[in-house]
């Protein structure tokens, strides 16, 4: 069993920082161990400054990560906990238990507040970027909770730009640093384009200066000896490119007697990405799709042949992609919230050759013992999901170079998506560069 002596020096620094600041945002790179860092803080202050801890996390992480981590360490194994998930009756019973730690998923914060549970000595918000929207129900209710300690944990505080930081900072200081409301924040640091209806940050330095005392940033490359991460764009040409361009222009195509309509620009983007992958959901109401080409499937088969001796983790976005991949790989397994424990164990024990996973469900998974190769069948606009997925293999415990392949359709939405991801990453890296190593 692990003890405090097994903590890294950077984790001890973070513990001191949290004890000093009490209300702060910890932006740890994936794999640096933010879970046990924050639990160690609670173990230090329980029955001194605080009595109860509330942990708010995504459902999969709430179900599988926090209570397991408690049992791995000598100084936290005796802390009692209650897992507040399930139906309303089960959650209410769990919240009424007399324990040290209450763990609940983000979606039930509003329900929890309405049941009269909103005062805790310490609150930990895991994956705090899930609260980045000031309009979300979860944010509107969590900001009503009271606590001495409020610790936000994330690996990607601003996955889509500086606009994402306001609500997270509000949970920490109730608007002292960045403004009492979103309008005040926007007026101070952004310009507005009345034609595109978009806000553009014009004073990132001002934002970082305001929040620097309440944000601790640590990069994995500065503290861990991780293997190389090699990213390759594996380009393909798609069949029926003229039809793709027509669809992009007209929002409508007809193929093999199937009609495919995009009712707005957002739907069109999704359908163009489906087109890049090879199958587009049609206008039927039965989730049926029309196969356009197999070019990505063929590219996937080429990579699998090259690495036929290795285990492969494949990211997919659409159920149509999963189904088509399994048609050529019938022994492939899919990991999801219902089987995460069993499938993770089998993968890490080298019992699964091909593992499929939607990138949005990968948070909290430790898969580094099972393989070193990731293939993105279809990419995502969500930088946080992208980084989180790659970190399932590129993390502590991985002892081989990690190879990441993007299957990218040339001159299509895929390439535009890559540019967007890169631009978001530049913004996040700017924040890391300014704020890291300040403590």
Give the CATH number of the domain where residue 131 resides: 3.40.50.10810
Please name the residue ranges forming H helices in 65-203.
66-71, 88-95, 109-114, 137-142, 165-173, 182-189
In a domain, 423, yes or no: no
- Count Cβ atoms within 10 A of the Cβ of residue 396 and give its class: 0-12 exposed, 13-18 middle, 19 or more buried: middle
CA–centroid distance for 8 within its chain:
24
Distance CA 352, CA 368 (A): 13
The reply to whether 279 and 173 lie within a common domain is no
User: What is the domain count for the chain?
Assistant: 2
- Count Cβ atoms within 10 A of the Cβ of residue 415 and give its class: 0-12 exposed, 13-18 middle, 19 or more buried: middle
Show the domain range for 309.
229-417
Distance CA 56, CA 131 (A): 11
Predicted confidence at residue 235, as pLDDT, reads: 96
In a domain, 434, yes or no: no
Helix or strand (DSSP H, E) at 293: none
Instruction: List strand residue ranges (DSSP E) for 90-181, in order.
Output: 101-105, 122-126, 149-154
Predicted confidence at residue 438, as pLDDT, reads: 56
Which pair of tokens denotes residue 60?
């999969």
Nearest to 35 by CA among 155, 158, 141: 155
Nearest to 282 by CA among 310, 305, 252: 252
The H helix count followed by the E strand count for the chain is: 18, 19
For 45-68, write each residue's pLDDT tens digit: 999 999 999 999 999 899 989 999
In a domain, 281, yes or no: yes
Distance CA 222, CA 437 (A): 9
Helix, strand, coil in percent for the chain, rounding step 5: 45, 20, 35
The reply to whether 62 and 157 lie within a common domain is yes
Q: What is the dihedral of CA 298, 301, 307, 309, to 10 degrees?
A: -170
Instruction: List strand residue ranges (DSSP E) for 228-381, in order.
Output: 229-236, 252-255, 258-261, 279-281, 289-291, 312-316, 333-334, 354-358, 373-376
For 101-110, write each residue's pLDDT tens digit: 999 999 999 9
In a domain, 435, yes or no: no
The reply to whether 213 and 257 lie within a common domain is no
Predicted confidence at residue 349, as pLDDT, reads: 96
In a domain, 439, yes or no: no
The reply to whether 61 and 37 lie within a common domain is yes
Name residue 104's beta-bridge partners.
56
Predicted confidence at residue 284, as pLDDT, reads: 74
Query: Which residues in the chain come in under a pLDDT of 70?
Result: 257, 437-439
- Count Cβ atoms within 10 A of the Cβ of residue 419 and give its class: 0-12 exposed, 13-18 middle, 19 or more buried: exposed
The reply to whether 140 and 211 lie within a common domain is yes
Contact partners, residue 226, CB within 8 Å, separation at least 6: 31, 220, 394, 395, 396, 398
Nearest to 117 by CA among 145, 88, 148, 150: 145
Distance CA 395, CA 392 (A): 7
The reply to whether 272 and 161 lie within a common domain is no
Which pair of tokens denotes residue 19?
């004890």
Specify the pTM. Answer: 0.86
Which pair of tokens denotes residue 120?
């805790």
The reply to whether 68 and 171 lie within a common domain is yes
Distance CA 44, CA 66 (A): 17
Give, in order, the Cα–Cα distances in Å from 57 to each of 106, 107, 116, 283. 6, 9, 19, 36
Predicted confidence at residue 437, as pLDDT, reads: 57
The reply to whether 268 and 387 lie within a common domain is yes
The number of beta carbons lying within 10 Å of the beta carbon of residue 339 is 12
Predicted confidence at residue 324, as pLDDT, reads: 97
The reply to whether 243 and 218 lie within a common domain is no
Which pair of tokens denotes residue 384?
């946080």
In a domain, 428, yes or no: no
Which pair of tokens denotes residue 84?
């507040």
For 371-430, write each residue's pLDDT tens digit: 999 999 999 998 889 999 999 999 888 999 999 999 999 999 999 999 999 888 888 888
Residue where the block lists tokens 């209450």 = 102
């Amino acid at each position: 069993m692990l003890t405090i002596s097994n903590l890294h020096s950077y984790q001890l620094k973070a513990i001191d920082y949290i004890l000093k600041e009490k209300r702060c945002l910890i932006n740890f790179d994936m794999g640096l161990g933010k879970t046990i860092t924050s639990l160690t803080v609670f173990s230090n202050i329980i029955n001194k400054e605080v009595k109860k801890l509330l942990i708010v996390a995504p459902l999969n992480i709430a179900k599988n990560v926090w209570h397991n981590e408690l049992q791995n360490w000598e100084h936290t194994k005796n802390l009692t906990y209650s897992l507040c998930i399930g139906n309303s009756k089960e959650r209410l019973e769990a919240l009424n238990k007399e324990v040290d730690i209450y763990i609940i998923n983000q979606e039930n914060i509003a329900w929890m507040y309405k049941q009269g549970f909103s005062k805790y000595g310490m609150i930990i918000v895991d994956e705090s970027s899930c609260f980045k929207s000031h309009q979300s129900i979860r944010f509107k209710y969590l900001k009503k909770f009271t606590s001495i300690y409020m610790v936000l944990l994330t690996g990607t505080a601003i996955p889509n730009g500086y606009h994402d930081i306001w609500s997270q900072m509000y949970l920490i200081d109730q608007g002292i640093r960045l403004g009492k409301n979103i309008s005040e924040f926007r007026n101070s640091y952004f310009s507005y384009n009345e034609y595109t209806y978009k806000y553009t940050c014009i004073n990132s330095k001002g934002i970082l200066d305001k929040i620097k005392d309440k944000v601790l940033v640590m990069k994995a490359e500065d503290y861990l000896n991780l293997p190389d991460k090699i990213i390759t764009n594996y380009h393909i040409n798609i069949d029926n490119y003229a039809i793709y361009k027509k669809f992009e222009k007209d929002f409508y195509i007809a193929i093999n007697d199937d009609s495919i309509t995009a009712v707005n620009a957002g739907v069109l983007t999704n359908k163009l990405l489906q087109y890049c992958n090879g199958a587009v959901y049609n206008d039927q109401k039965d989730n049926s799709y029309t196969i356009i080409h197999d070019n990505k499937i063929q590219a996937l088969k080429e990579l699998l042949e090259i690495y036929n001796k290795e285990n492969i983790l494949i990211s997919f976005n659409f159920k149509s992609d999963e189904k088509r991949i399994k048609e050529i790989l019938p022994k492939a397994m899919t990991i999801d919230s219902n089987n995460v424990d069993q499938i993770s164990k089998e993968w890490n024990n080298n019992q699964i050759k091909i593992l499929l996973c939607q990138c949005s469900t990968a948070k909290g998974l430790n898969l580094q013992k099972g393989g070193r190769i990731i293939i993105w069948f279809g990419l995502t606009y969500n930088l946080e999901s992208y980084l989180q997925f790659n970190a399932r293999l590129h993390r502590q415990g991985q002892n081989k170079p990690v190879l990441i392949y993007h299957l990218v359709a040339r001159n299509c939405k895929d390439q535009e998506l890559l540019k967007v991801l890169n631009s978001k990453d530049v913004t996040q890296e700017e924040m890391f560069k300014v704020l890291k190593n300040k403590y």
